[in-house]
Structure 1
């Protein structure tokens, strides 16, 4: 613990030397819906925390709904006295914030690794999965890909407006999938990429996607799954901030336009043993087939994680490369689980179902549990789409059905934690019901 504290203290002191104008640091963590919460600390107090002073925040901050309110979930929130819970600083994450008007820093905090971690904190859920896999000699290598839209900064009666192309205001004039669109928006995109790199995130490929103002960013492969999820979470925060600075609004909303493709979170995962052998390639790739079967078996029960809100379910089906059935295939982007072409050393799955606004810690945890379950159960998967275009199994396409499918699934309760599953399902149920508590103008047009 002394070495850990000295490392953190050195990190804070080095940051202060390199950024003498920074007076405050945002200490942040991701809640269940995937939003950051936390506190803004004077830099002097952060040094004390790094030296070992307690860092406490309300436990129930993790339980916030999409709009930030608290729901009654068991005895949490209203019958537990709203207790504090210890958090710790995440080493290596203290970075400058360049998109605010005043000099600022930010640093991740978490309850995982403390004496009493919060069982339903997303980062803790992933930490337990990664720890269990490590004890089994399984070492994941992970890379995220995130799609997002740029909009005009101002909404039009609450509705998004297309990002203002420097050459044209007509969305049909934006060259979809063309390199030219990257050039037209290069000022803001370059700033997003550089800001992410300043946060320690390895940005690799950037693509103009099919929707007007839609882009995709790829991150480097990491042998640290937690850090990979940290990158995805931090990228969303910095990208929104940079967009506002340039007069745009960046959104990872799953389906902002019915007529254009939604935005997804694609996750590449390969598994290695302690000697560096690719476990998915073992036994002439039979292990890959087992892992895929496990992912597909649990996929219908993980839908509240992969599609975490009402809008995310709109993304499924419809336009491009978003399946409505659990499926897999080699080099097939219509599949939920795609196997990209690669040599045996780099054999991996690409899980394509999650929406871009899903919680990256929970998405990765769910995928890894599916792979783990498949390797243990050793079942063969259904036919790939390459052999049968109608192959696939159904999964829920509505939140309350999805919650029911998740809550009592034995493997998820065992491997993600029963307390987490119960809390998460109730959080999603309450968010969905709260969303229904508003009469839309369409109801008056149809039924008045």
Structure 2
């Protein structure tokens, strides 16, 4: 513990030396809906925390709904006295915030690794899954890909408008994959990439996607699954900030336009043993088939994680590469679980179902539990789409049905933690019901 504190203290002191203009640091963590919460600390107080002073935030901050409200979930929120819970600083995440008007820093905090981790904190859920896999000799290597839209900064009666092409000042309303779109939006995209790199994020490929103002960013492969999810979460925060600085809005909303492609979160996962051998490639790739079978078996029960809100369900069965059934295939982007072409060393799955606004810690945790279950059950998967275009299993396509499918699934309750599953499902149920408590103008047009 002393060595750990010394490392953190050195990190804070080095940051202060390199950024003497920074007076405050945002200490942040991701809640259940995937929003950052936290506190803004004077940098001199951060040094005290790094040296061992306690860092406490309300436990129930993790339970906030999509609009920031608290829901009654069991005894939490309204019958527990709203207790504080210990957090710790995540080493290596203290970085400058360059998109705000004033110089700031930010640093991730978490309850995992403390004396009493919060069982339903997303990062803690993933930490437990990874720790269990490591004990079994399974070491995931992970890479995220995120799609997002750029919009005009000004909304039109609350609705998004196409991003303005900086070259012509016209709306970017021609969906295509032309490389010139990257050039036309280079100032904001380059700033997003450089800002992400300043956060320690390894950005690799940038793609102009099919939607108007839609782009995709790929991250490097990591042996640390927690850090891979950290990258995805931090990229969303910095990208939204950079976009505003350039006169745009950036959004990871799953389906902002009904008639254009939605935005997804694609996760590449390969599994290795302690010696560095690819477990999926062993025995003529039979473990790969078992892992796929496990993912597909649990997928219908993980839909509240992969599609975490009302809008995310609109993306399913969309115009481009959004599956309507639990399926798999080799080099097939219509499949939920795609097997990219690769050599045995890099053999992996690409899980393509989650929406871009899903919680990356929970998405990765759910995928890993599916892979773990498949390897242990040793079942054969259904036919791949390459052999049967109609192959696939149904999954829920609305939230309340999805919550019912998730809450009592025994493998998920064991793999993700029963307390987490109960809390998460009730959070999603209450969020969905709160969303319904507003009469849309369309109802008046149809029924008045």
TM-score for the superposition, normalised by structure 2 = 0.99
Per-residue CA deviation, residues 204-259 of structure 1 (Å, 9 max, x unaligned), is: 00000000000000000000000000000000000000000000000000000010
Per-residue CA deviation, residues 348-376 of structure 1 (Å, 9 max, x unaligned), is: 00000000000000000000000000000
Distance across 2 between alignment mates of 1:286 and 1:57 = 46
Q: Give ranges in structure 1 of 5+ residues lacking alignment.
A: none
TM-superposed deviation, 1:173 = 5.3
Secondary structure of 1:393's aligned partner:
coil
Distance across 2 between alignment mates of 1:252 and 1:447 = 33
1:174–1:181: 8 Å Cα contact kept in structure 2? no
Per-residue CA deviation, residues 294-328 of structure 1 (Å, 9 max, x unaligned), is: 00000000000000000000000020000010000
Give the direction of change, closer, same or farther, for the CA distance of 1:412–1:103 in structure 2 (3 Å limit).
same
TM-superposed deviation, 1:169 = 5.4
**Which residue of 2 is the match for residue 338 of structure 1?**
338
TM-superposed deviation, 1:172 = 6.5
Secondary structure of 2:172's aligned partner:
helix
2:290–2:377: 8 Å Cα contact kept in structure 1? yes
TM-superposed deviation, 1:430 = 0.2
Per-residue CA deviation, residues 249-308 of structure 1 (Å, 9 max, x unaligned), is: 000000000100000000000000011000000110000000000000000000000000
Distance across 2 between alignment mates of 1:417 and 1:29 = 20
Secondary structure of 1:226's aligned partner:
helix
2:57–2:84: 8 Å Cα contact kept in structure 1? yes
TM-superposed deviation, 1:114 = 0.1
TM-superposed deviation, 1:176 = 1.4
TM-score for the superposition, normalised by structure 1 = 0.99
Distance across 1 between alignment mates of 2:162 and 2:415 = 42
TM-superposed deviation, 1:170 = 5.1
2:151–2:249: 8 Å Cα contact kept in structure 1? yes
Per-residue CA deviation, residues 45-71 of structure 1 (Å, 9 max, x unaligned), is: 000000000000000000000000000
Distance across 1 between alignment mates of 2:37 and 2:173 = 39
2:196–2:238: 8 Å Cα contact kept in structure 1? yes
Distance across 2 between alignment mates of 1:20 and 1:341 = 48
2:163–2:172: 8 Å Cα contact kept in structure 1? no
Distance across 1 between alignment mates of 2:118 and 2:319 = 39
Distance across 2 between alignment mates of 1:394 and 1:65 = 28
Secondary structure of 1:171's aligned partner:
coil
2:164–2:172: 8 Å Cα contact kept in structure 1? no
TM-superposed deviation, 1:167 = 3.6
2:137–2:274: 8 Å Cα contact kept in structure 1? yes
1:12–1:47: 8 Å Cα contact kept in structure 2? yes
Give the direction of change, closer, same or farther, for the CA distance of 1:131–1:23 in structure 2 (3 Å limit).
same
Aligned length: 448
1:325-364 counterparts in 2 under 5 A?
325-364=325-364
Distance across 1 between alignment mates of 2:149 and 2:60 = 31
Distance across 2 between alignment mates of 1:362 and 1:328 = 21
1:175–1:181: 8 Å Cα contact kept in structure 2? no
TM-superposed deviation, 1:166 = 2.0
Secondary structure of 1:109's aligned partner:
strand
The runs of at least 4 consecutive aligned structure 1 residues that moved more than 3 Å come to 167-175
